[in-house]
């Protein structure tokens, strides 16, 4: 059970060895190095033999075969610039066997033959990593031991052919040297490959953070990639806006098609969501029902002692493990990033620093996207406000002036055959003035705080009554409202759109609007005595979508705040629009 809690090798999860543009070039360099190394050793032994005859002739022959083989490998790579894994394995086995074979006719480490061992370890380390380099060193030591056994107990004819004598201290020295060099080369190569993998992975994540993209899509795509590296089953984040203390939770569901959902939650849950008592970055794993293991680092990457983290618990009750990182986005947002049921490798401290550094590099990109969308929204709001002022100062005033002139003409032409036509034109002008005013009000920026919502809604209804002459009334069962500002804005727009629909389509003489709370829900009701909708009965939001009925704009706004809607219609006797919104957890797409 415990082995399943350990993730795959970190290097494998980063896919550093999958940099296809690096591997072929590396194999080309190794092929040239083999030819150069073999040719140099052959030339030295021809000019200055390192062992007596006839052993030197055998050594020269073996080096010649090695050079021919290395040259063949090089030519093959020139013809096939992207070698298959099978060919790479053949070269790897060859690099291991050749130094063992050459040691039969030389006396390393006092000769250049031992360089072939270093070459084998070097190629393994930079092809694969630490584990493979150490295994190669062990395999080479094992083959040298077998060689010593053959020399000791083999046939006499073979002992005369082989130059190297039996020497146990020399075998121990060779094996120790190979293991030490294999570990050092493997460690350095593994760290270098991990570093390249981390840089490539971070750059890959940064490629998603293009200015102009929706922040929801960016966070979802990045979460999917991070979850792949750590094998997480789900990801969520909790962020708070420093200035307003508003708290949002971002849940990303992983699957064939990753989706994300953002909701605003109450400030009472800030402690549980933001985990104030937790260190900067930590990994908590449940071993059994009574035992939890924790590894944590501070904001500078230093590991915290067991006494500093002994009281920490899993942030998600139903989770087996959780990787928690503090997230700071500019000066306005901070919070937590949590990977649920993810797995870390054996070097957990290093992986914690990795995810810590990745999120630190992504935070400025997140903030740039947020600022861009905020500035674009503000620019659009300012432009709409300017257009609304222009409509009020020019178009609306001109229409009112024309309507007044038409009214004067109608009065002066009382009894004239064209009086009815003037009345129709005057009515059209009044209708157009109302339409322009409604357009102007809808274009104006609407930032409504909870304590302004009731007064603002009452003003909307009063303005509607004065503009249309229709009987309109707003009643609130509450004196205070604790809705988020985003929900206040959307509900005010719903009231505004509902009044427009009543004036244009219902033919009603009166409209009644009520706001209150019931069974943990905010409830908004718009009731009129007009002609109703073209159906009889009571339909929910889902049923309206299936039948493609109901006001599309209002339905969209209701969904944006996680609410529900019911329309009750009685053709010829009016309609009733009921909107309910949960008092905890509001959808937010700002």
Do 238 and 326 lie in a common domain? Answer: yes
Count of other CB atoms within 10 angstroms of residue 258: 15
Instruction: Provide the pLDDT for residue 18.
Output: 44
Contacts of 183 (CB under 8 A, 6+ apart): 130, 133, 134, 137
Contacts of 557 (CB under 8 A, 6+ apart): 490, 491, 493, 494, 497
Contacts of 380 (CB under 8 A, 6+ apart): none
Residues facing 523 on adjacent strands: 516, 580
Do 196 and 63 lie in a common domain? Answer: yes
CB environment 532-571: b (16+ within 10 A), e (fewer): bbebeeebebeebeeeebbbeebbebbbbbbbebbbbbbe
Do 464 and 560 lie in a common domain? Answer: yes
* SS3 call for 126: helix
Residue written as token pair 């190794």: 30
Do 346 and 464 lie in a common domain? Answer: no
Contacts of 371 (CB under 8 A, 6+ apart): 330
Looking at the domain assignment, is residue 131 inside a domain? yes
Do 194 and 275 lie in a common domain? Answer: no
Residues facing 566 on adjacent strands: 540, 578
Looking at the domain assignment, is residue 267 inside a domain? yes
Residues facing 240 on adjacent strands: 247, 334
Distance separating alpha carbons of residues 285 and 104, to the nearest angstrom: 53
Looking at the domain assignment, is residue 50 inside a domain? yes
pTM: 0.64
CA-based torsion, 220, 221, 224, 230: positive or negative: negative
Residue 201 token pair: 């992975």
Do 149 and 267 lie in a common domain? Answer: no
Instruction: Provide the pLDDT for residue 422.
Output: 77
Do 124 and 140 lie in a common domain? Answer: yes
Looking at the domain assignment, is residue 563 inside a domain? yes
CA distances from 213 to 153, 208, 257, 369, 586 (A): 74, 9, 18, 7, 23
Looking at the domain assignment, is residue 436 inside a domain? no
Among 183, 205, 227, where does a domain finish? 205
The per-residue pLDDT string of the chain (590 residues; one tens digit each, 9 = 90 and over) reads: 333 455 567 777 776 544 555 677 888 888 898 899 888 888 887 887 766 677 677 778 888 999 999 999 899 888 888 888 788 888 888 888 888 777 766 655 445 667 888 888 888 888 888 888 899 889 888 877 877 777 777 666 555 556 566 678 877 887 888 899 999 999 998 888 888 888 888 888 888 888 778 888 888 888 888 888 888 888 888 888 777 677 888 888 887 777 777 777 766 667 777 777 888 888 888 877 667 788 888 888 888 887 777 677 777 667 888 888 888 877 778 888 888 888 888 888 888 998 889 888 888 888 888 777 777 767 766 776 677 666 666 776 777 777 777 777 777 777 677 777 777 887 788 777 777 766 666 666 566 778 888 888 898 889 888 878 889 999 998 888 887 777 888 888 888 888 888 887 788 889 999 999 888 888 999 999 888 888 888 888 888 888 888 888 888 888 878 888 999 988 888 889 999 988 764 444 43
Q: Are 9 and 231 in contact (CB under 8 A)?
A: no
Helical pair 23-47 and 85-102, crossing angle rounded to 10 deg = 20
CA trace torsion 421, 424, 426, 429 (10° rounding): -130
Do 109 and 20 lie in a common domain? Answer: yes
CA distances from 311 to 238, 282, 289 (A): 22, 13, 15
Q: Are 292 and 285 in contact (CB under 8 A)?
A: yes
Among 205, 233, 258, where does a domain finish? 205
Write out the residue range of the structural domain in which residue 103 sits. Answer: 3-205
Query: What CATH number should be reported for the domain holding residue 497?
Result: 3.30.565.10
Do 562 and 472 lie in a common domain? Answer: yes
Distance separating alpha carbons of residues 54 and 16, to the nearest angstrom: 48
Query: What CATH number should be reported for the domain holding residue 365?
Result: 3.30.450.40
Sheet holding 510-518, edge to edge: 471-476, 510-518, 521-528, 574-582, 564-570, 537-540
CB environment 428-463: b (16+ within 10 A), e (fewer): ebbeebbebbbbbbebeeeebeeeebbebbbebbeb
Distance separating alpha carbons of residues 108 and 102, to the nearest angstrom: 9
What DSSP designation does 534 have?
S
Residue written as token pair 């066997």: 97
Among 144, 171, 205, where does a domain finish? 205
DSSP 198-264: HHHHHHHHHTT--TTS-HHHHHHHHHHHHHHHHT-SEEEEEEEETTT--EEEEEEE-SSS-EEEEEE
Do 171 and 151 lie in a common domain? Answer: yes
Contacts of 519 (CB under 8 A, 6+ apart): none
CA distances from 402 to 55, 242, 422, 434, 584 (A): 117, 52, 12, 14, 51
Q: What is the number of domains present in the chain?
A: 3
Burial of 227 (0-12, 13-18, 19+ CB in 10 A): buried
Do 542 and 477 lie in a common domain? Answer: yes
Residue 387 token pair: 């257009």
Q: Are 283 and 323 in contact (CB under 8 A)?
A: yes
Distance separating alpha carbons of residues 275 and 312, to the nearest angstrom: 10
**Pick from 543, 589, 536: which is nearest to 564 by CA?**
543
Looking at the domain assignment, is residue 398 inside a domain? no
Do 201 and 226 lie in a common domain? Answer: no
């Amino acid at each position: 059970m415990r082995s399943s809690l350990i993730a795959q090798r970190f290097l494998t999860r980063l896919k550093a060895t999958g940099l296809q543009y690096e591997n072929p070039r590396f194999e080309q360099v190794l092929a040239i190095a083999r030819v150069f190394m073999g040719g140099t050793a052959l030339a030295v032994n021809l000019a200055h033999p390192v062992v007596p005859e006839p052993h030197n002739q055998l050594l020269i022959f073996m080096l010649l075969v090695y050079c021919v083989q290395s040259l063949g490998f090089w030519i093959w790579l020139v013809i096939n610039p992207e070698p298959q894994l099978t060919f790479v394995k053949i070269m790897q086995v060859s690099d291991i066997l050749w130094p063992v074979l050459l040691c039969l006719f030389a006396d390393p480490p006092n000769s250049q033959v031992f360089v072939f061992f270093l070459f084998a370890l070097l190629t393994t380390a930079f092809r694969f990593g630490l584990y493979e380099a150490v295994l190669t060193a062990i395999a080479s030591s094992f083959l040298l031991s077998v060689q010593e056994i053959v020399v000791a107990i083999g046939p006499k004819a073979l002992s005369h052919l082989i130059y190297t004598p039996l020497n146990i201290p020399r075998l121990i020295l060779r094996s120790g040297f190979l293991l030490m060099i294999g570990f050092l080369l493997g460690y350095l190569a593994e760290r270098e490959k991990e570093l390249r993998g981390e840089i490539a992975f971070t750059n890959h994540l940064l490629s998603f953070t293009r200015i102009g993209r929706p922040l929801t899509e960016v966070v979802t795509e990045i979460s999917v990639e991070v979850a792949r590296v750590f094998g997480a089953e789900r990801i969520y984040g909790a962020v708070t806006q420093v200035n307003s203390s508003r708290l949002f939770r971002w849940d990303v569901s992983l699957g064939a098609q990753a989706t994300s959902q953002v909701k605003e939650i109450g400030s009472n849950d800030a402690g549980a969501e933001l985990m104030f008592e937790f260190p900067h970055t930590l990994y908590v794993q449940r071993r059994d029902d009574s035992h939890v293991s924790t590894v944590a680092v501070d904001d500078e990457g230093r590991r915290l002692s067991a006494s500093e983290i002994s009281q920490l618990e899993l942030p998600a009750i139903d989770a087996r493990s959780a990787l928690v990182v503090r997230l700071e986005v500019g000066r306005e947002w901070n919070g937590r990033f949590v990977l649920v049921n993810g797995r870390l490798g054996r070097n957990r401290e290093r992986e914690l620093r990795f995810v810590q550094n990745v999120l630190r590099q992504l935070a400025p990109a997140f903030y740039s996207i947020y600022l861009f969308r905020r500035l674009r929204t503000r620019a659009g709001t300012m432009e709409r406000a300017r257009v609304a002022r222009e409509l009020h100062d020019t178009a609306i005033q001109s229409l009112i002036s024309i309507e007044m002139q038409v009214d004067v003409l109608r009065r002066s032409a009382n009894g004239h055959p064209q009086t009815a036509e003037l009345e129709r034109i005057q009515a059209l002008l009044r209708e157009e003035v109302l339409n322009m005013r409604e357009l102007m009000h809808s274009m104006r920026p609407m930032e409504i705080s909870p304590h302004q919502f009731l007064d603002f809604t009452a003003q909307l209804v009063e303005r509607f009554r004065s503009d249309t002459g229709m009987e309109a009334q707003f009643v609130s069962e509450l004196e205070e409202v604790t809705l988020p500002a985003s929900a206040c804005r959307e509900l005010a727009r719903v009231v505004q759109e509902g009044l427009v629909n009543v004036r244009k389509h219902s033919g009603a003489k009166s409209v009644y609007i009520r706001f209150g709370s019931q069974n943990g829900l905010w409830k908004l009701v718009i009731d009129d005595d007009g002609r109703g909708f073209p159906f009889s009965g009571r339909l929910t939001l889902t049923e309206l979508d299936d039948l493609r009925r109901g006001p599309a704009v209002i339905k969209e706004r209701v969904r944006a705040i996680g609410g529900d809607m019911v329309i009750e219609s009685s053709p010829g006797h009016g309609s009733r629009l009921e909107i309910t919104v949960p008092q905890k957890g509001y959808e937010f797409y700002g």
